[in-house]
Amino acid sequence: MEEKKIVLSGMRPTGPLHIGHLFGALKNWKKLQDEGNNCFYMIADWHALSTEYRCPENIRKNVEEIAIDLLVSGLDPEKSTIFIQSLVPEHVELHLIFSMFVPIPWLERNPVYKEQIKELKEKELNTYGFLGYPVLQAADILIYKANYVPIGVDQLPHLELTREIARRFNYLYRNIFPIPEPLLTETPKIPGIDGRKMSKSYNNCIFIGEEPDSIRNKIKNMFTDPKRIYRKDPGHPDTCPVFVYQQIFNTQSADEIKNSCLNAKIGCTDCKKIVAEKLVEFLQPFYKKRKEIENNRKDLWEILTEGSKKARQMAKKTLDEVKEAIRMDYGEKD
């Protein structure tokens, strides 16, 4: 990207971030920041409430945790605007305005919605707010007139809806919103410790802030090549999740390990020990930064409130334009 663009993305504060997030989203967020784009990174607490409305008391703690994870992963509040969604109430107002003209069938046919309603039955998601989840997401994106939205493929249907909502607004009232583009992360997928996709709901994650001993223990219990039953059997590194970790965290020796595995010269226990140490070593700078931030929560909240104030200035400007376009601007306000 040559030109400075407006970038927006968000994370739901439903738990600490794991190394899948680090390689999936956060690396990309940092890259966009370091390329000099105008980046807005949001902690989407309203979106968390849409599924966690039964126990909202965890959201606040998670907001803080995620904020720390974002900073630890290299997001720099001097370069990016890091903010909390609910501290910018203009999102809610724009969401309401959009809700007036978004046809319900657009929302009902959203594949993410259909899947989640089925998968998360115990959460009782047949609510008004959850159906409107992508409308709020569209408000998040469009209120900053974002050009680019770095997301994972799972969020593509939501971005498609955002684009449709932008087009519909532009057509009905006035051409205010640029049509945002997704930026997909082309990263190696880091499997969870059971070989499936790393995800909190599978309980197979290694967290960015996880203690070294806990990491060693998780790796020790990790799934390996299912066809390798005895130490003397040759392994199949290409179908072993531990080997994916070797490739990412032990790049230099991965080829050697691959050969040793194929020839049964290395056992899985040793292979895991090696990669666990590499991963712990990789996370060292993250631990250090976390300590610094955790010892100074006041600064953390200052970053978040300052970021939210900055985001709010931009959000207010767009909302004023929107209200003018729908002829609901009643002159001077505070």
**Interacting partner of 228 out of ligand SF4, ligand TRP, none (Cβ under 5 to 8 A depending on kind):** ligand SF4
**Interacting partner of 66 out of ligand TRP, ligand SF4, none (Cβ under 5 to 8 A depending on kind):** none
Q: Would you state the structure tokens that stand for residue 55, as one six-digit string?
A: 């126990």
Closer of 115 and 256 to ligand SF4 (Cβ)? 256
Smallest gap from Cβ 99 to ligand TRP, in A, equals: 16
Stretch that binds ligand TRP, among 122-130, 147-155, 228-236, 300-308 (CB under 6 A): 147-155
Residues 6+ apart with CB under 8 A from 38: 4, 5, 6, 7
Contact 12, 3 (CB under 8 A): no
Interaction between residue 225 and ligand TRP (CB under 6 A)? no
User: Three-class SS of residue 233?
Assistant: coil
CA gap 204, 107 in Å, rounded:
31
**Interacting partner of 151 out of ligand SF4, ligand TRP, none (Cβ under 5 to 8 A depending on kind):** ligand TRP
Residue nearest ligand TRP, CB atom distance: 10
Among 73, 80, 155, 250, binds ligand TRP (CB under 6 A): 155
Interaction between residue 37 and ligand TRP (CB under 6 A)? no
Q: Supply the Cα-derived Rg of the chain in whole angstroms.
A: 22
Among 6, 7, 8, 205, binds ligand TRP (CB under 6 A): 8
Contact 148, 6 (CB under 8 A): yes
Smallest gap from Cβ 262 to ligand SF4, in A, equals: 8
69: alpha, beta or left, given left = phi > 0 and alpha = psi -120 to 50? alpha
Kindly list the residues in this chain that would bind ligand SF4 in the complex (CB under 6 A). 224-225, 228, 235, 237, 240, 242-243, 261, 266, 268, 271-272
Interaction between residue 149 and ligand TRP (CB under 6 A)? yes
Contact 91, 315 (CB under 8 A): yes
Bridge partners, residue 82, by sequence: 41
Smallest gap from Cβ 91 to ligand TRP, in A, equals: 9
Interaction between residue 198 and ligand TRP (CB under 6 A)? no
Interaction between residue 257 and ligand TRP (CB under 6 A)? no
Smallest gap from Cβ 18 to ligand SF4, in A, equals: 20
Smallest gap from Cβ 8 to ligand TRP, in A, equals: 6
**Interacting partner of 6 out of ligand SF4, ligand TRP, none (Cβ under 5 to 8 A depending on kind):** none
Contact 45, 183 (CB under 8 A): no
Element (H, E) at 8: strand 6-11
CA distances to 42, 69, 144, 205, 334 from 289, in Å: 20, 10, 30, 21, 40
**Interacting partner of 149 out of ligand TRP, ligand SF4, none (Cβ under 5 to 8 A depending on kind):** ligand TRP
DSSP structure class, residue 226: T
Element (H, E) at 150: strand 148-151
Mark out the alpha helices in 221-267 (DSSP H runs): 241-249, 254-262
Contact 237, 258 (CB under 8 A): yes
Smallest gap from Cβ 294 to ligand SF4, in A, equals: 34
Interaction between residue 210 and ligand TRP (CB under 6 A)? no
Element (H, E) at 183: strand 181-184
Smallest gap from Cβ 191 to ligand TRP, in A, equals: 19
> Applying CB under 6 A, which residues contact ligand TRP?
8-10, 12, 44, 47, 137, 140-141, 149, 151, 155, 158
